[in-house]
A and B are shown apart, each in its own frame.
Chain A
Amino acid sequence: MKISLNWLSDYVDITGISIDELVDKVSTAGLEVEEVIDQSDVLANMVVGFVKETKRHPNADKLTLCIVSDGTNEYSVVCGAPNVAVGQKVPFAKVGAIIPSNGLKLEKVKIRGEVSLGMICSEKELGISENHEGIMVLNPDLKEGTELAEAFGMNDIVIDVAITPNRADALSHIGFARDVAAIFKRKFHYPKVEIIESKKKSGEAAKVEIIDSKNCPRYIGKVVQGVTIKESPEWLKRKLKSIGLRPINNVVDVTNFVLYEVGQPLHAFDLDNLAENKIVVKCSAEGEKFISLDSKERILSSNDLMICDGNKNVAIAGVMGGENSEVTEQTKNILIESAFFNPSSIRKTAKRLGLSTDASFRFERGTDYNIVIWAAQRAAQLIQEVAGGVILNGEIDAYPDTIPTRSTSARFSRINKVLGYDVAKDEVLNILTDLGFEIQEVTSEGVTVNIPGFRHDVEREIDIIEEVARIYGYHKIPDVNHISVTLEEKVDQASFNDNIRNTLTSLGFYEIITNSLVNSDIAERFGHSIKVLNPQSSEMSHLRPSMLPGMLQSVSNNLKVSERNLNFFEIGKTFEKKNDGEIISFEDFIETEHLIIGITGYAIQSEWYGKDKLFDIFDLKGFVESFLMSIFPKIQFTFQQKKSDFFDLTFSIGVKENEIGIGGKVKSELLVLFDVNQDLFTYIFNIDRLKEVEVSEQTFTDLLKFPKVYRDVAFILDKTVESDKVTEIIKGASSNLLHQIKLFDIFQSDSLGEEKKSLAFQLEFYDSDKTLTEKEVEKDLRNIIKAVEKTFYAQLRGS
């Protein structure tokens, strides 16, 4: 919200406070200043100019060549206005000025061959009015060279303040002034309202009936008769313009002025357009139509509070008036509405209609039910001042149930306990008084106050503590520099993932983070996905059911920039529905943490020491094995070949009964979807299951004191025999002296036969208690050979 400092000084004296200090102090007290706008900046590089000479432009009949003086220099200027004449004082924009009407920066130009070093401006070009008849002619008493901002009295500074949703009371100049006064210990006052009223009472010219008093607890009507609708006077227009409002006509401008002065939204009805001169406040009928002030047809619901006259709707309460009762040039008699509406009712209607107005913004945050009479009187006073007419006596005050004044107490000891600092008692009382709280009782223990009607956010002791703290100044409360640390069990639920990240980065993987939201095509293809009710776009309409699309998209992004060799991993959540019904509890969906790793492109490329090698499935398996070995050094995992919708060469990994991961070579139809034109190998682990893997306590094993014996053995087998089956048989046939089996060569050739292959194993034997004898090893070896030969009809190679 914009606050004009000139306007602000009508209610609080801010002389002697620098802009920087003001901005800093109000910001730290909770009214954050986001921008400071010096209005004179708009007219920078513009001065009062004196037209010294004029002559016809040699190449254009309608242009005039002028010599303009700013008192020190003379400038030749081409001017197109017919009314320019020697001896005039004019608004002169120099080269470098930015013309307010179009935002263009003036440069030195040639117009039809003649140099022009600036511009003589019209009112429209200066943004003062719509008048573009000719150049603006200034008061001849002005001294040439005077800054135009100074000549126009545009010395205002406007600050843009972000008001938090709890501080509806600060959404006006008076509300803001109250905080400023409290912070700087200055005097704060409301403007005096002195009006001369006719004998006739407002209640004789109009009636107000509240049917829905829950949503409209109070409604004030005040009548002004015989007004003349016209343009507002300069002072009023300037005030509104200073905070970015567009003047409309004198009566509407007054209602807007009062809104920004005290925060009470007002509405002015053309009384003669209200059937039976009557206001009725009630909820709409379902499906009723209404044309609001912005000429749009609105369809209403039975929850929308409406302002009606004797027979029709005339305004959406607290949101926007209607075309049928608006103030026009013909309007003579006015009913001023000054009401208090239930915040949540206004919010529902405004939200449903997608209509946020200055009025609804304040009503839904809570306005002051006590200020309504003052606001109506203030409006009447100003309407009479700018539009003439007669103010009828008194107000129609429809207030079925008086809202009780709320009060609360605060203990001094509690203030100090929460803040950790003793704020003096007097200080507490002063702050509360300055903020408009009425002190009811003070004891040695604490204080009881009445809460002003404009502070809907204050109801409890803690709210009082906050008021004291923010006005006293957070900076004055010390930063305690020694803290007590509780000695309790240390928990780090994130440490498992930290471990995973450390392992994978040392294996050469880069961590990525991808969007958790995907489009419906992808969502449906990859799982039982969950839809977002109000997505930002169709591209982000579902929660990801799988980590795979993010990996595919990431690879795709990199291929587009010719980065083809990639090792990526991501840790993230996936979301899937458990059934087709609506999600009504946490049981209806599963959120699972996953790890995905992906490799694509070359493992070795263009290196002097090695042949180029593309990643293949065994690189993937190798990374997976290294990863598991690092995270679970002692656990035996089982690898199993599988079929999958997403992968070829699929293998799963399990521990005991649980599958903890699955992956392989991503199917080409998925690659095509993401424009990926090279093989991608990925593996997906379920982290929630990984975390469940039972890890026994790690113990130290004695180092071997006796030598190991190695034997190499190779078999010729059918091509279809799986290597780990052979390994199993070897294991089974040997004694406990065999400790490791390593497949070190796979060989196929014509000489072996088309359907055959050779597998060569290195076997490691040792006995941890003594040195092995040749005999023992030979015996094992014989058993192994016999078993393999028998099981697979294999032949020992080289025999």
Chain B
Amino acid sequence: MLSKISETRKSFDEDLSKVSNLKSLEELRIKYLSRKGIVPQLFEGFQDVSREEKKNVGQALNELKIFTQNQYDLFKEKLENSLKSSEEPDIDISLPGRKIELGSKHLITQTLDEIKEVFKGLGFSVYEGPELESDYNNFGALNFPDDHPARDMQDTFFINKNFLLRTHTSPVQIRLMQQKKPPIRALMPGKVFRNEAISAKSYCLFHQIEGLVVDTDITFAELKGTLVGFIKQFFGKDVVYRFRASFFPFTEPSAEMDIWWQPKGKAGRWLEILGCGMVDPNVLINVGIDPEKYIGYAFGMGIERPAMRKYGIDDIRILFDSDIRFLRQF
């Protein structure tokens, strides 16, 4: 009897391993566990077992019953689960998802970030300064003489005789050089103001980014090299450029950098991108740096115009109108 039991267990295992679907599982159940199945049949034969064997056989029979039933239940559950999970649920996947709308930085911020990224890679630190400035920091210290036509280059909003809205980020240079001794390698982004009527072409404020390097062995050639590297990264390595002599009271020699702009279907032309030059010795003297020992260069550029050109925006006012239809595009 005991051997019969162990044989049954063996054949059950074998049969179970062959089960692959609910139908063959049901066949297995009928074969072993149904009322006329092998396991109940074995219990029928229990009465014929001798008394001394009854204890062992009974235990083995019970174990077999529990084992086969458990195995069957487990397997059934497993099979049903696997079937359930492969079943297609009844949903319309073409419905839009629950998305979270991300915002965006202003186009001007994005452009500033792009420029900052390039110069940070060249070892520049970033400094900021106030927008309401003294006449001295904005003009005097930067070598603009009083009553000089150079002041007309920048239409100024005055608060009074001595205070104004900064017309460029250059006063940050002055503040920095007053606080920090060379070597200096600084980048100065910020908002600046020009007293101009608002139109498609001009706005009363715009953004600038300015660079300043002061050290013992700085040259005009290095200034050129740095800026060429920058515009190649910013406008692409095939950009056509030129340095053109110019005038700023706070640099000498001074230059402007133009790039060749070729709009589709129109005549190409040179576009001014930035102003630059070697820091005028008078500026260094004004902040207490010895111009014989130290040489500096500086450069500055507006952000709005290159950004507008890059994206084909022809009215500057749209940048400051907060129209969400515009903001969503960037």
Which residues of A are interface residues toward B (Cβ below 8 A)? 24, 27-30, 32, 164-167, 344, 347-348, 364-365, 417-421, 460, 462-463, 465-466, 469-470, 474-475, 477-486, 488-495, 498, 501, 504-517, 530-537, 540, 543, 553-554, 557-558, 561, 563, 566-569, 572-573, 575, 582-584, 586, 589, 591, 607-610
Contact = CB atoms under 8 A, between A and B. Distances in A.
A515 B205 contact: yes
B278 interface: yes
Given A491-B126, A510-B327, A591-B131, A557 B321 contact: yes
Contacts of B70: none
Contacts of A469: 220, 245, 253
Interface string B205-238: 1000000000101011110111011000000000
Contacts of A494: 116, 126, 128, 189
A563 B326 CA distance: 11
B122 interface: yes
Contacts of A462: 252-253, 278, 280-281
A421 B220 CA distance: 9
Interface string B161-172: 011010000000
Interface of B: 95-96, 98, 100-106, 108-109, 113, 116, 120, 122-123, 125-128, 130-132, 134, 146-150, 152-153, 156-160, 162-163, 165, 183, 185, 189, 191, 193, 195-198, 204-205, 215, 217, 219-222, 224-226, 228-229, 242-247, 252-256, 270, 278, 280-281, 295, 319-325, 327-328
B224 A166 contact: no
B160 A347 contact: no
B150 A508 contact: no
Nearest to B172: A493
Given A420-B219, A466-B252, A530-B132, A540 B224 contact: no
A490 B101 CA distance: 35
Contacts of B229: 481
Nearest to B182: A486
Given A165-B149, A591-B131, 20 more contacts: A32-B244, A344-B147, A348-B147, A466-B254, A469-B245, A475-B243, A480-B226, A483-B222, A510-B104, A513-B106, A513-B108, A516-B165, A534-B195, A557-B323, A558-B322, A566-B324, A573-B132, A582-B160, A583-B162, A584-B162
A367 B18 CA distance: 110
Given A508-B100, A534-B195, A486 B247 contact: no
Most A Cβ at <10 Å: residue of B113, B116, B322: B322
Given A364-B149, A561-B323, A591-B132, A534 B126 contact: no
Given A27-B244, A488-B183, A557 B255 contact: no
Nearest to A590: B132
Most A Cβ at <10 Å: residue of B125, B127, B220: B220
Contact of B219 (A417, A535, A557): A417
Contacts of A485: 122-123, 185
Given A478-B224, A483-B122, A573-B131, A501 B196 contact: no
Contacts of B153: 165
A29 B245 contact: yes
A480 B224 contact: yes
A531 B127 contact: no
Contacts of A513: 106, 108, 319-320, 322
Contact of B215 (A486, A492, A511, A530): A486
Contacts of B189: 494
B108 to A, nearest CB: 6
A480 B217 CA distance: 13
A568 B322 contact: yes
A534 B96 contact: no
A575 B323 contact: no
Contact of A558 (B134, B158, B247, B323): B323
Closest 6 CB pairs of A and B: A420-B219, A420-B221, A30-B245, A554-B322, A164-B247, A485-B123
A508 B158 contact: no
B152 A609 contact: no
Contacts of A515: 204-205, 320
A591 B104 CA distance: 26
A684 to B, nearest CB: 16
B204 A540 contact: yes
B103 to A, nearest CB: 4
A561 B323 CA distance: 9
A492 B125 contact: yes
A420 B122 contact: no
B159 A486 contact: no
